[in-house]
Structure 1
């Protein structure tokens, strides 16, 4: 065991296998950009399933499986440690193994992290998001960034498409509780030197409108824009260097955000529980965004932004990879 050391709250990333490579590289770049340490957690519980036979496994089987899991974890940690140190030698780095489920390990570690990064791929048939990404997005103690295996920007680069115009997109409603996600978006846009696109999408099926309510869409748009401008005011003053390109969309919020993710480096959404985005709960809309977005998606809960502005110092005892 290493002695406890005092470090700044790290960028935390979960690593399972090579499907997590995109998340690992995203987290390493973020740690380098923000001059923060990087902590990689590889969770591999020894509480394994034993599919063979009709009865319980004998003691020797359990020991052999557990030893194989530990050996595999050590090999994974050693290999990813080498790659990170080669690609980002400036980033203080530790890689550790957790003997529990990935979701449990990452949610627990998020209490001492600045940002948690996790990857996910889409199921070839169902298009569903992995359980680990869903778990940490719902329960993390710090903001979460979910990174798809292939992003729109990487695809455009591979295809030689020069039309890709990077932005940071933030999903907004007209409530003041979205300040945390909006502030996170401004910070990211400033750090990347790209425009910020505050996106307000609304949709009401005309069949459900009261007959006494005039369908004056332009008037609704004007009121929505005024509310968005009010929310943007303080952040534009704090980040005058960020070019802001507000967008209103008369369509379902999830569809609008997914469409915007085609040209975004990062998409930021809020998660409010009982406060925050009225239209972006960690429910149907945010799940659709996390499942279908073409870029990394940041989920920022109410009250998490101060941890990003005033990074605390923590101590934790770890066994680093050899």
Structure 2
């Protein structure tokens, strides 16, 4: 896909960090960067087609213009020769960016916006866009390790394959290693957690070594389709016995990027995203890219 990288800006420090990450992503891909600001009149009564030059005050218009100009200048300062386009579009941020994602190859946003409500909701635009965007969505957060690997969550489901493919591609673009993390557990693990004491493995589970070998095969199978295409990427499979969410959060502390699927095994009905994706967006120590499956 030759579409642009789109970054949503609102003047917040989080959005400026997103501009930096988006400029790098566009440069690595050799495509245009599009800076987008979604604008709503304070009274919230403006019709969808109303002009951003229209009525309230010159000061408000200047504020919007400054947000976009600052973001464009910052992006151009990140890479010589980067093509940067910009747009101010009337509408609610998540809906505007969702529409932009139809023709983009990546949308980048900060994990928190400039509005107090967004702070209370821990990045409602980021979560909504990650759940409904038409392309991968990168949510910039934490302090990434520039020399760290790309980490991808592997759950073995067909729905998780697009995230793995994206992670391989991103690792190749960045010249980074790829850590493929697959967490597994037995009924015993859950029982021990509930009881607060060890449980007899032989009695409850039987052959734990056999289960581990099966999980290793599942991890290898999930990666096999992509290894041949990306032979230059160093892959480090990591099998972790334990819960997925804490294992991923820990791995993110030394990563430059984490990649997760929007929903894998065990999603809870009613959540915009699966619980693992939600945890990554809220607690990861590095930027997180959510890749939806259309299977």
Q: Scaled by the length of structure 2, what TM-score is found?
A: 0.83
Query: Quick check: 1:64 aligned with 2:56?
Result: yes
Per-residue deviation, 1:217? 3.0
SS of structure 1 residue aligned to 2:224: helix
Per-residue deviation, 1:89? 3.1
Query: Quick check: 1:133 aligned with 2:126?
Result: yes
Contact 1:170 1:197 in 2 (8 A): yes
1:237-289 deviation per Cα after TM superposition (whole angstroms, max 9, x unaligned): 111111111111122111111111011111110114xxxx2146713221111
Once residues 286 and 119 of structure 1 are traced to their aligned partners in structure 2, the CA distance between those partners, rounded to angstroms, is 16
SS of structure 1 residue aligned to 2:107: strand
- Change in CA separation of 1:46 and 1:127 when aligned onto 2, cut-off 3 Å: closer
Once residues 280 and 243 of structure 1 are traced to their aligned partners in structure 2, the CA distance between those partners, rounded to angstroms, is 30
Once residues 87 and 147 of structure 1 are traced to their aligned partners in structure 2, the CA distance between those partners, rounded to angstroms, is 16
Per-residue deviation, 1:18? 3.5
- Change in CA separation of 1:217 and 1:231 when aligned onto 2, cut-off 3 Å: same
1:142 matched residue in structure 2 = 135
Q: Which has the higher contact order (CA 8 A, sep 6+)?
A: 1
1:83 aligned to 62, 67, 74, which one?
Answer: 74
1:206 matched residue in structure 2 = 191
Q: Counterparts of 1:235-254 in structure 2 under 5 Å?
A: 235-254=226-245
Per-residue deviation, 1:127? 8.2
Once residues 42 and 247 of structure 1 are traced to their aligned partners in structure 2, the CA distance between those partners, rounded to angstroms, is 40
2:177 matched residue in structure 1 = 195
Once residues 71 and 133 of structure 1 are traced to their aligned partners in structure 2, the CA distance between those partners, rounded to angstroms, is 26
Per-residue deviation, 1:212? 7.1
Query: Quick check: 1:32 aligned with 2:27?
Result: yes
Query: Quick check: 1:179 aligned with 2:173?
Result: no
* Structure 1 residue ranges, 4+ long, deviating more than 6 angstroms after superposition: 208-212
Contact 2:171 2:177 in 1 (8 A): yes
Q: Counterparts of 1:96-115 in structure 2 under 5 Å?
A: 96-115=87-106
Aligned-residue RMSD, C-alpha? 2.8
SS of structure 2 residue aligned to 1:246: strand
Contact 2:40 2:91 in 1 (8 A): yes
Structure 1, unmatched stretches of 5+, are 1-6, 51-61, 155-164, 305-322
1:168 matched residue in structure 2 = 150
Once residues 215 and 16 of structure 1 are traced to their aligned partners in structure 2, the CA distance between those partners, rounded to angstroms, is 55
2:51 matched residue in structure 1 = none
1:44 aligned to 39, 44, 47, which one?
Answer: 39
Once residues 152 and 83 of structure 1 are traced to their aligned partners in structure 2, the CA distance between those partners, rounded to angstroms, is 19
Contact 2:136 2:292 in 1 (8 A): yes
- Give aligned pairs, total: 269
Once residues 156 and 92 of structure 2 are traced to their aligned partners in structure 1, the CA distance between those partners, rounded to angstroms, is 38
1:176-221 deviation per Cα after TM superposition (whole angstroms, max 9, x unaligned): 3321111111011111111111111123402689997525432221
Q: Counterparts of 1:231-270 in structure 2 under 5 Å?
A: 231-270=222-261
- Change in CA separation of 1:218 and 1:129 when aligned onto 2, cut-off 3 Å: farther
Does 73-82 or 284-293 show the bigger shift? 73-82
Per-residue deviation, 1:91? 1.4
Structure 2, unmatched stretches of 5+, are 46-53
1:285 matched residue in structure 2 = 276
1:314 matched residue in structure 2 = none
Once residues 182 and 55 of structure 2 are traced to their aligned partners in structure 1, the CA distance between those partners, rounded to angstroms, is 55
